[in-house]
Amino acid sequence: MRRIIAQSGVTRFIALFSIFRSLFPLILLALFLSPGIEPVGSPVMAGVSLQSPDYYPSPEVRFGFGVKGDITQYDVTQLHAGWYVNWGTLSNLAHPDGLEFMHIIRVKGSDYYPNQATLRPIIEDNLGSTWLIGNEPDCIWQDNSTPDQYAQVYHELYTFLKKTDPSCQVAIGGIVQPTPLRLQWLDMVLAAYQSRYGERMPVDVWNIHNFILQELKGSWGCEIPPGINATQGRLYGVQDHDDMTYFKQHIVDFRRWMKDHGEQNKPLIISEYGVLMPCNWYGFCDDRVKAFMRATFDYFMGAESVSSSLGYPADGYRMVQRWAWYSLNDDNFEATDTHSNLFTPSTKQITAVGQAYGDYTASLGTIPYVDLIPSTFSTAPSQPLFYGEPMTITLSATVANRGNTDTSRDFRVSFWDGSPSGGVQIGSEQTVSGPAGKWGQAATAPVEWSTIITEPRRVYVWCDSRNEVAESVESNNQTYKTFSVELSPASISFAPPLPFAPAGQLVTVTIKATVENEGRMGARDVEVSFWNGDPDNGGVPIGTKVISALNAESSVRIQIDWSGLEAGTYEVYVKADSGNTIVESDESDNKGHESLLVAGVKVFLPLIMKGYR
């Protein structure tokens, strides 16, 4: 929960605890006033096997942590963990001790970063990754998004991620804690998504944080989620921060929420939890932090977290699949004497809490396994690609072994025009030497593919295509790229931006549109039409322009003059490929819309112009 209690980093946290010190008698009184909660009554399957399934083949795979800065400065081998986050994305991934990295795309209101141009090569160089959309979007101190804003950002990023890498997994941003107030925020997100896009919000992996913090407007804790009209939620006290009863109840409540929304058959991860409160004054010192951490590990790994009615069936009905401790080294709270870090940032040495973490994971042992995935898939054309024109593409791939065990056995990698179950193999199989465990890499030789494409085509890479290597998971050995044209009007604007037409006069407005092609194929003679009103609901045509060549992954700016306009408001639509002559994977985004105001009286322009660009 990076800087969750801080308005701007550690400053607000220190200020708030300074207030606590001055009001210490009142705080002591408040600590005894804690809300009641429902008992943890989740039914547990008697005699259920806790043997890890194929998805989580060895215990260390489940254990993770958050890291600030360069992870390679720390000897993380002492932790015997399986994954990490750093509250962002990485282009050159480090996998020390075989750690898997989960990317977080940060959200701010209705915006996000990095942008798509920056994200695309990162995605393509790290196929099969898990992507978390936002970090505590329900918190005003963090990504601070209303439910409607988050639904829009999630839709745009989910669509972009899946188009770029169909093998990736997409998770929601972790809410601070699954309390009723924050589950209400999630309900509003799902409702906004359904209303705006006419379908259920697609989520591959459900993700939460699990802190225990007060929800009170204008006070310490995690405040009220944006977009919710409330002044308080759960009024946890400071000493509740490591209460295992609350911690477990949060998980039961969220798993019940998942089941009620038809999402029980999805994995749940906790991408951040730990102890934020200081040792001095409040008693959260090494021994207490270690006891809480061990108690959470015991819960996650034990029978109490197994529920036949709420858990994930593919994981032996465990309720939580993976979890990440906060944190390896984030020193945002060190000035307030917190003891949650696994390493000391200044010395890079393991702490007492870190040693307890490593001792626990080491005691679980490891189960040897191999897991091959195509981590990169290059499709390099010898010339710009256009529908209907002969082309040659060089195909190559890199295979990673994200298991913990080396494989010295050679295996085959093949490329396919269409799914391997019914497509046509491209070239001959490539023999690849088995990569070492813990993210060792092995590359194929290049294969040339000459063809003509006139409609969307999928090209697959299949590693270990003869099943020569025994793996923990066989279902992730394939991925594909789609070769298609994908058109959309990316923006619409007007010149002048606020036309003036006094009574009895008519004006001419220039409509400007940027037409984008996000596909891997280019198209020639793309017809773009301009409309007064919705072209699919009685609109009147304004005119048509033709783009002679729109290359793959590029855009073209076009414009048209619209004459004879009197004062009023007009709904202007732009439709790409208006004759529907170009076959696309997705035709739903070919139409764009913008409102145009033609003023009939003079106004104070700075007021009107605000918001135009």
Q: Residue 103, class by beta-carbon neighbours within 10 Å (0-12 exposed, 13-18 middle, 19+ buried)?
A: buried
Q: What mean pLDDT comes out for the span 399-422?
A: 96
d(CA 550, CA 278): 59
d(CA 300, CA 210): 13
Q: Give the orientation angle of helix 10-22 with respect to helix 24-31, to 10 degrees.
A: 90
The tens digit of pLDDT for each residue in 301-360 reads 999 999 999 999 999 999 999 999 999 999 876 557 899 999 999 999 999 999 999 999
3 state SS of 587 = coil
pLDDT for 35 beyond 50: no
As a whole number of angstroms, the longest Cα–Cα distance in the chain is: 86
Q: What mean pLDDT comes out for the span 110-121?
A: 95
Q: Other CB atoms closer than 10 Å to residue 286's CB: what's the count? A: 15
Find the angle CA(472)-CA(474)-CA(477) to the nearest 5 degrees: 125
d(CA 302, CA 203): 27
Nearest to 247 by CA among 266, 224, 275: 275
Query: Which pLDDT belongs to residue 334?
Result: 53
pLDDT for 6 beyond 80: no
The tens digit of pLDDT for each residue in 148-198 reads 999 999 999 999 999 999 999 999 999 999 999 999 999 999 999 999 999
d(CA 575, CA 143): 34
Cβ-contact 75, 336 below 8 angstroms? no
Q: How many residues does the chain have?
A: 613
pLDDT for 445 beyond 90: yes
Query: Which pLDDT belongs to residue 92?
Result: 86
Average pLDDT, the chain: 90
Structure confidence at residue 34 as a pLDDT band (50, 70, 90): very low
The tens digit of pLDDT for each residue in 262-272 reads 999 999 999 99
Structure confidence at residue 214 as a pLDDT band (50, 70, 90): very high
d(CA 342, CA 330): 9
pLDDT for 55 beyond 80: no
pLDDT for 375 beyond 50: yes
Q: What is the DSSP letter of 517?
A: E
Find the angle CA(428)-CA(433)-CA(434) to the nearest 5 degrees: 120
Torsion of the alpha carbons at 246, 247, 251 and 256, rounded to the nearest 10: 0
Nearest to 375 by CA among 131, 127, 129: 127
The tens digit of pLDDT for each residue in 550-579 reads 999 999 999 999 999 999 999 999 999 999
Query: Which pLDDT belongs to residue 91?
Result: 86
3 state SS of 452 = strand
The tens digit of pLDDT for each residue in 514-538 reads 999 999 999 999 999 999 999 999 9
In angstroms, the first-to-last Cα distance of the chain is: 36
In single-letter form, the type of residue at position 125 comes to D
The tens digit of pLDDT for each residue in 232-247 reads 999 999 999 999 999 9
Query: Which pLDDT belongs to residue 5?
Result: 40
pLDDT for 40 beyond 70: no
Domains and CATH numbers, the chain: 57-363 (3.20.20.80), 372-482 (2.60.40), 487-609 (2.60.40.10)
Share of residues in the chain with pLDDT > 70 (%): 89
Query: Which pLDDT belongs to residue 332?
Result: 78
The tens digit of pLDDT for each residue in 457-483 reads 999 999 999 999 999 999 999 999 999
Q: Provide the whole-model pTM.
A: 0.88
Pairing mode, if any, of strands 322-326 and 268-274? parallel
pLDDT for 383 beyond 70: yes
Which residue intervals of 231-326 are DSSP H helices? Answer: 244-260, 286-301
Pairing mode, if any, of strands 507-517 and 487-495? antiparallel
Pairing mode, if any, of strands 83-85 and 440-443? unpaired
pLDDT for 282 beyond 50: yes
Structure confidence at residue 27 as a pLDDT band (50, 70, 90): very low
Query: Which pLDDT belongs to residue 394?
Result: 98
